[in-house]
Amino acid sequence: MKRNCEKTMKAKTYNFHPEWEEEFIFTLVKDKCVCMLCHQTQALSKRGNLERHHNTNHQKFKESYPRKSAIQARKVDELKSGLKTQQSLFTKPAAQNKAAAEASFRISYLLAKDKKPFTDGDLFKEAMAITAETVFNDFKNKADIKNALCGLPLGPATVTRRVESLSEDVDRQVLKDLSLCEYFSLQFDESQDVMDTHLKERMRGEDIYNEFKKYVSKNDIPIHKLVAITTDGALAMRGVRAGFVALCRNDPDFPDFVNYHCVIHQQALAGKVLDFSHVMALVVKLINSIRAKAIRAKAIRAKALQHRLFKALLDELDAAYGDLILHADVWWLSRGKVLQRFVDLLPEIKTFLSTRNEEHEQLSDDAWLLDLGFLTNLTAKLNALNNELQGKSRHLPHMISAVNAFKAKLGVWTTHLKNGTLTHFSNLEKMSQAIEDKDAFHPEQYCAHLDKVATEFNRRFGELDVMEDIAAFVSNPFLPIDIAQLSAKFQQVFSLQSGVDMEIVDLQNDRSRDTDFWGLVSREKFPLLTTCALRVSAYFGSTYLCEMTFSQMKIIKTKYRSRLTDRHLTDCLRLAVCSYEPNYKALTDSIQSQPSH
């Protein structure tokens, strides 16, 4: 019993008393009693220990500085101040090194975010040194500021390590969110960097599938939460048997998921159904003859001279633009802008070509000019739709709305053209007024082109039809609907059994509405609908994020950084495109902070 009582006894605590500073010349530093005279420490704040130390080692102090005298008070303050100064000599460099390390993380993140080389860290530090030398020239602590800035660790090797750590931190955050989220979707597209280093050999659907499975396994990604995959139209992605999507569907680890061909790709392909190559061929030929660079040096000088003469001509004629936009066939999105610039500069182009004694009969052909006007207007409208579909926040319901609106506009434009109204085709109207033979203008032939585009849109976006009513319901559940038809689509898309129709009825008669509607709907009361709504909200309608990443990759891995490794390219890409903020404090605490050498 006695032994048990001893175990349960609490350890006695000792508290430091402020009056001991003058009585025994001790002070408290980080929970330890420190003698201000010899800097020895006492582990316990016991009066007897402090008194014994003072009487044994500092007897003469009591004689020189009588207790409670003014001279003793001044001496104690002096000793206390000196001890603090000495402590700061050890803590200040450590704090400065830690701050410098955090600054190097932040600057390295800025360099990666702006897609700059690792070697630009030294340039950044040199710029700060120049700034300190100039801006802080009249400051008393100018030397301290300059030394602090020059001490930032920003060498190429350091920036490389910082970028690696930053990328790992962001990756951890993404994987953590994946483990916490209810559903997620994926975008897949393919491109090549300047050295083709990511997939070393072939890029079949099987190769992409194996790489993805390896990534899923390595990072413990909860693949059972996958609800949709959006891809481009490549055979490696959408092949019926050996495509990436088909292999995923046949894998028992994957759940049932929805697959879409990227809406933006579909829109671009639908726009190419029109064959106006006779217009684009001449436009591109004329622009390139003026603007493009020739291969040989002599040809370059000749073309450059023609280009300067043309620009000078535009200035003399006070033209609407100062130059033409260079067009390449692969830049399909630029086609509308190129055509519009060409139409606006057509009189100046004709004048310039005449100075070179060049004749192009199409530029005076009424039918060709009318086709140019129509194509210019239609490509501008397709470009406007494409821009509407782009963006990080563009999810499937928004894209369905944009595509449906464009299909409805095609019908309106066709009706207007049949009636001879050219309100929505300003360039076609301009050409129809400028041509000599008014009978050459036949609006019905352009109606046929619009009908062709509408047919292609309906064909290509047919896979979205089944989702249209579901997306509309998720956006606004209280619109009038055919409940039987809608519930059938829910069952088709989400493999539901029964009960969704009754939930729709109950929901439409539930008057609790809010802007964040689905976040407030009771999941116990409407389990099927809330689950489906969350899944739809996770769908990607396009591979826009992939395309954006490819664009960043082209900027990061240029011919001047062609030897950038796969690991570092991935790190730089992740930091350039992600919206996650690194945890700078945790990263700084995880390393031993040292100043730059």
Q: Does position 113 have pLDDT exceeding 60, yes or no?
A: yes
Q: Does position 467 have pLDDT exceeding 70, yes or no?
A: yes
CA distance 20 to 44: 13
Eight-class DSSP state of 464: G
Q: Does position 409 have pLDDT exceeding 80, yes or no?
A: yes
**pLDDT tens digits for range 9-22:** 555 667 788 888 88
φ/ψ bin of 466: left (φ > 0), alpha (ψ from -120 to 50), beta (otherwise): alpha
Q: Which two tokens stand for residue 275?
A: 């064959």
Highest mean pLDDT among 268-272, 429-433, 541-545: 429-433
CA distance 59 to 57: 6
Q: Does position 524 have pLDDT exceeding 60, yes or no?
A: yes
The three-state secondary structure class of 287 is: helix
More confident residue, 519 or 111: 111
More confident residue, 46 or 373: 373
Q: At CA 589, angle to CA 585 and CA 592, rounded to 5?
A: 140
Compute CA 528 distance to the chain's CA centroid, rounded to the nearest angstrom.
33
Confidence of residue 381 (pLDDT cuts 50, 70, 90): very high
Average pLDDT over residues 119-129: 90
Q: Does position 560 have pLDDT exceeding 70, yes or no?
A: yes
Contact 507, 477 (CB under 8 A): yes
Contact 287, 326 (CB under 8 A): yes
Q: Does position 2 have pLDDT exceeding 60, yes or no?
A: no
More confident residue, 193 or 551: 551
* pLDDT value at residue 331: 46
CA distance 292 to 299: 11
Average pLDDT over residues 285-305: 59
Taking the CB of residue 59, how many other CB atoms lie within 10 A of it? Answer: 9
> How buried is residue 185: exposed, middle or buried, by Cβ count under 10 Å (0-12/13-18/19+)?
buried
Contact 185, 545 (CB under 8 A): no
Give the DSSP per-residue string, 527-586.
HHHHHHHHHHHT-BSS-HHHHHHHHHHHHHS-GGGTT--HHHHHHHHHHHH--PPP-HHH
* pLDDT value at residue 328: 45
* pLDDT value at residue 561: 86
More confident residue, 479 or 179: 179
**pLDDT tens digits for range 569-580:** 999 999 999 999
Q: Mean pLDDT score of the chain, rounded to an integer?
A: 82
Q: At CA 575, angle to CA 570 and CA 580, rounded to 5?
A: 130
Nearest to 45 by CA among 30, 32, 29: 32
More confident residue, 559 or 375: 375
**pLDDT tens digits for range 41-53:** 887 788 888 888 8
CA distance 332 to 379: 10
Q: Which residues have CB under 8 Å from 182's CB, separation 6+? A: 225, 534
Q: Which two tokens stand for residue 35?
A: 């003698």
Phi/psi at 228 (5° precision): -160, 150
User: With pLDDT > 90 as the criterion, what percentage of the chain qualifies?
Assistant: 27
**pLDDT tens digits for range 583-595:** 999 999 888 766 5
Confidence of residue 415 (pLDDT cuts 50, 70, 90): very high
Q: Which residues have CB under 8 Å from 373's CB, separation 6+? A: 343, 425, 427, 428, 429, 430, 431, 432
Highest mean pLDDT among 89-103, 109-123, 510-524, 534-548: 109-123
CA distance 417 to 446: 8
More confident residue, 536 or 167: 167
Contact 581, 173 (CB under 8 A): no
Nearest to 186 by CA among 231, 246, 224, 239: 231
* pLDDT value at residue 12: 63
Q: At CA 547, angle to CA 543 and CA 549, rounded to 5?
A: 115
CA distance 542 to 263: 5
Contact 185, 230 (CB under 8 A): yes
Contact 220, 178 (CB under 8 A): no
Confidence of residue 512 (pLDDT cuts 50, 70, 90): low
Helix 527-537 to helix 483-494 angle (10° resolution) is 60
Compute CA 454 distance to the chain's CA centroid, rounded to the nearest angstrom.
33
Q: Does position 426 have pLDDT exceeding 90, yes or no?
A: yes
Confidence of residue 293 (pLDDT cuts 50, 70, 90): very low
Weakest-pLDDT range from 240-249, 288-297, 307-316, 333-342: 288-297
Confidence of residue 93 (pLDDT cuts 50, 70, 90): low
Q: At CA 510, angle to CA 504 and CA 516, rounded to 5?
A: 90
Average pLDDT over residues 76-96: 70
* pLDDT value at residue 534: 86
* pLDDT value at residue 299: 52
Q: pTM value?
A: 0.69
